Chain A
Amino acid sequence: MLEINNLHVEVDGKPILKGLSLSVPAGEVHAIMGPNGSGKSTLANVVAGKDGYEVTEGSITYDGKDLLEMDPEERAREGVFLAFQYPVEIPGVNNTYFLRESLNAIRKHRDEEEVDAIDFLDLVQEKAEAVGLKDKLLERSVNAGFSGGEKKRNEVFQMAVLEPRLAVLDETDSGLDIDALRTVADGVNRLRKPDNAFLVITHYQRLLDHIVPDVVHVLQDGRIVKTGGKELALELEKEGYADLA
C-alpha cells in the first residue's frame, strides 16, 4: 500500500532523511522506532504533505499513486491520516462540527452523499465512547483547553470516525498514562483490517505491548538500519539504540 523508495528530505537545506526505503502492505502494522532526531516526525510530515520539507530524491507511492504529487488535503481524502504529535487548537470551532466537515470532505471526494446529521451524531457517540473521549469534549472547540492526553484521544477518535486506509501515528503514546495508552491502543486495534495499514512512530516500546506490530523498523540518522519482527522492539528496549550503530 505504501512504498517509500530511497527518500531524501531536507529541512532548511539540512538533510534529515538520507535514503529511507520502506514498504507497508495492506493489512499490516509497521512500527518505526528510533532515537530523538533520527527523522521519525519528518517521515510522518512528508507522508502527510506538510510544507517546508524538501524531497530531493526518491519517491513515495500510495496505492500505486505518486503521493508527492498530491496536495495534503487530497492525500487526506484518499485515506491518509496523520495522528499529530502536537495537535493544534482551533478556538471557536466546534470539535464535532469540525469532524463532520472533515468526514464530508472525504465522502464528497469518493462521490458519496454527505452524512446525515442524526446518523453522524450516533456515529460520534459510539466512537467517542470507544476511545474514552468525554462527551463534553465533543462540544468544545477543537483541542482548545484539552489536556495532553485528551488531545491524543481526540486524534484517535477522529481516526476512528474517518476510518483511514493508511494511518500514521506520530508519537501518539507520548504524554499518556497507562490507562489512556490502553484505550488508545484498543482504538487502533479495533480499526485493524485486511485492507488498511498503520505506521506507528514511537520512541518507546511500551505502546507496542498494546498495538502489536507485524514489522519493526529502526530509524537512525535518516535511514532504516534494522528491520525485524515484534521481538526487535523488546530487544531495543533492553539494549538501547547505541549498539545498532
Chain B
Amino acid sequence: MSDAVKELAEREYRYGFTTDLDEDRVPPGLNEDVIRIISQKKGEPEWLLEWRLDAYRAWLKMREPTWARVEYPPIDFQAITYYSAPKSASEGPKSLDEVDPEILEMYEKLGISLVEQKRLQGIPLTEEEQGASRVAVDAVIDSVSVATTFKEELEKQGIIFCSFGEAVQDHPELVRKYLGTVVPTTDNFYAALNSAVFTDGSFCYIPKGVRCPMELSTYFRINAAGTGQFERTLLIADEGSYVSYLEGCTAPQRDENQLHAAVVELVAHEDAEIKYSTVQNWYPGDKDGKGGIYNFVTKRGLCEGDRSKISWTQVETGSAITWKYPSCILKGDDSQGEFYSVALTTNKQQADTGTKMVHIGRNTRSTIISKGISAGESQNTYRGQVKILPGAEGARNYSQCDSLLIGADCGAHTFPFIDVRNPTAQMEHEATTSKVGEDQIFYCQQRGLSEQDAVNLIVNGFCKSVFRQLPMEFTVEAQNLLNLKLEGAVG
C-alpha cells in the first residue's frame, strides 16, 4: 500500500462512524461506515455488505487508470457524497433561467415540454405543474396504465424486471448467484468503486425459452428516471431466451454528480440472445467542457452457454469524458459477440471507447463496427482488444474502425490490440480515417442542400451500419440527436 493510500485509510478511520442513521444523507467522503450506511439504508443482507466491503478494500489498493487518452483534473474521491436520499431542491437550478441556454434550445428542438424540461434538469415543479405533467403524460401515452400493463404481461411470462434494490429483496438467490460473476469487484478501479457504493440500478431475468415480448426500453424510460451516479445493472438471459434492452435518453440530462461509474453485467446461457442498446447524451459541459459529466463505465457480457449471443449497440454523444468498453467473453462454443458503436465528440469532449472480445470457446465469432466522429477541438479514441485463447479453435473476428473528422482542430485515434493464441483463428481488421470533404459538401450544396444539411447527411450515412442495429423506433431519434449535436460543428 502506498503511503498516500495508507494515510487516506487512516484518516477515514480517525473520523469514524459519527453519522446519525436517520439522516438522509451522509457527509462527503468514503469509508467503511459510509458503505455500512448505504447497505443498511437499502436493507441488504449481510453477504452483500461483505461483498461491498471486500470491493472497497480492494479499491483502496487500486490506482486510477491512466492509460486512456483522456485528460482531466484529479478527482477528489473524498469530496463526493456517496449516499443521499432524493436530491434536495436547493442543489439544482431553481428555474429554467439558470440552465445553459444551449441545452434549452436543444430541448426545444427535440420537442420536449416545459414541464419535462424542468424534470430533466431537476427543477422542482409547482403543484399545478405536477398535475399538468400527469395529465399530459396520461393523455399522450397513458404512462401509469401502460407501465402496469407491461408489468403484468412480463410477470405472466415469468420475466423479472425491477430495480436492483427490489431484486435484492425479492430475488436474493439470483442476485447472489450472478452479481460480480462477469465484472468481479476487483476488475478495475471504477468497477471496484461501483461495487462498494452502488445505490441502485436495474435487474432483469428472462426465464428459459422465453422471448421477451417487448423492447424493455419503453418500460424503462417511463420508470427509471434518476437512477443515480453509481448504477448497477444485472441482466440474465436463461437458456434459449431472448431480450432486447435499451437504456438512455436522447434528451440531454443534467446531473450534479460529475462522476458517473456504472457497472453493467450480462449473462447469456445456452442459445440465449441479449441485445443491449445505449443512447448516451449526458451533459457534456459548456463550450469549454466545464461542468460536464465524467462517464467511466464498465460493461461486460458473458456468453456462458453454447450458441449464445450478446450484441452491444451504443450511440455516445454526451459527457465531457467517456471511458467505456462494452465487452464480450465468448465462453460457450459457437457463441457470438457483437459491438456496434457511434461515438460523436464536439467542442472539448473526450471519448475513449471501444470493446473487448475474448474468445474462449470453439468456433466463437465476434464483429466490431466502430464509427467515431470528431468535431470542434474534441478527441475521439477507439480502443479495442480481440483475444483468441488457445482453446478457441476456429474463432473468427471481423473489426472495422472508421473515423470521420470535421474541421482541423479535432483528433481521431485508433488503438486496436489483437492477441491470437490459436493458429486456426481468422482475423480481419479494417480501419479508415476520412474528413468530411469539401467536395462532398459542395456536391450536396450544388443539389440545393444547405451546408449543415450536407454535413448531417454525410455523417448519418457514415453511421448507417450502426444505426441499423438500433431498435427501429429509436433509429430516427438517434439520427435527429446526431444532427442536433452537429449543429454549428461546421463552418
Is B a genuine binding partner of A? Answer: yes
Q: Which residues of A contact B (CB under 8 A)?
A: 48-51, 71-73, 75-77, 81-82, 84, 87-88, 90-93, 98-99, 101-102, 105-106, 109, 141, 158, 162
Contact status A92-B463, CB under 8 Å: yes
Partner of B448 from the list A77, A84, A90, A93 (CB cut-off 8 Å) is: A77
Q: In whole angstroms, how far apart are the Cα atoms of A141 and B448 in the complex? A: 18
Contact across chains for B440 and A88 when beta carbons are under 8 A apart: yes
Residues of B near A72 (CB, < 8 A) are: 442, 445-446
Kindly report which residue of chain A lies nearest to residue B459, judged by CB atoms: A92
CB neighbours (8 Å) of B464 from chain A are 92-93
Stretch of B60-68, B406-414, B449-457 at the chain-chain interface: B449-457
Contact present for A98 and B447 (CB under 8 Å): yes
Tell whether, in the assembled complex, residue B450 and residue A73 are in contact, meaning their CB atoms are under 8 Å apart: yes
Q: Are B461 and A105 in contact (CB under 8 A)?
A: no
Task: Flag whether B438 is at the interface (Cβ < 8 A).
Answer: yes
Residue from B442, B448, B451, B458 within 8 A of A106 (CB atoms): B448
Complex Cα distance, B458 from A93, in Å, reads 7
Chain B residue with Cβ nearest A158: B447
Residue of B438, B446, B457 touching A101 (CB-CB under 8 A): B457
Whether B461 and A91, one on each chain, are in contact in the complex, defined by CB atoms closer than 8 angstroms, is yes
Asked if A84 contacts B443 (CB within 8 A), the reply is yes
A92 near B442: Cβ-Cβ < 8 Å: no
Whether B440 and A90, one on each chain, are in contact in the complex, defined by CB atoms closer than 8 angstroms, is yes
**B465: interface (CB < 8 Å):** yes
Q: How far is the CB of B25 from chain A (nearest CB, A)?
A: 49
Cβ contact of B438, chosen from A48, A51, A105, A158, cutoff 8 A: A51
Neighbouring A residues of B422 by C-beta, 8 Å: none
B51 at the A interface (CB under 8 A)? no
Give the chain B neighbours of A48 by CB distance below 8 A: 442, 446
Q: Measured between alpha carbons, how far is A240 from B444 in the docked complex, in Å?
A: 37
B460 proximal to A (CB < 8 A)? yes
Docked-complex contact A141 and B461, CB < 8 angstroms: yes
A–B complex contacts, Cβ < 8 Å, 10 sampled: A73-B445, A88-B440, A88-B443, A90-B440, A90-B457, A90-B458, A92-B463, A93-B464, A105-B447, A158-B447
Q: Across the interface, do A76 and B457 meet the contact criterion of CB distance under 8 Å? A: no
With beta carbons under 8 angstroms apart, the residue of B439, B449, B457, B463 that contacts A88 is B439
Please tell me if B437 contacts chain A, counting CB pairs below 8 Å.
Answer: yes
> In the docked arrangement, what's the CA distance between A75 and B440, Å?
17
Q: Which residues of B contact A50 (CB under 8 A)?
A: 442
Residue B462 at the chain A interface, CB threshold 8 Å: yes
Give chain B residues whose Cβ lies under 8 Å from the Cβ of A90: 440, 443-444, 457-458, 461
Expressed in whole angstroms, the Cα–Cα distance for A98 and B461 within the complex equals 11
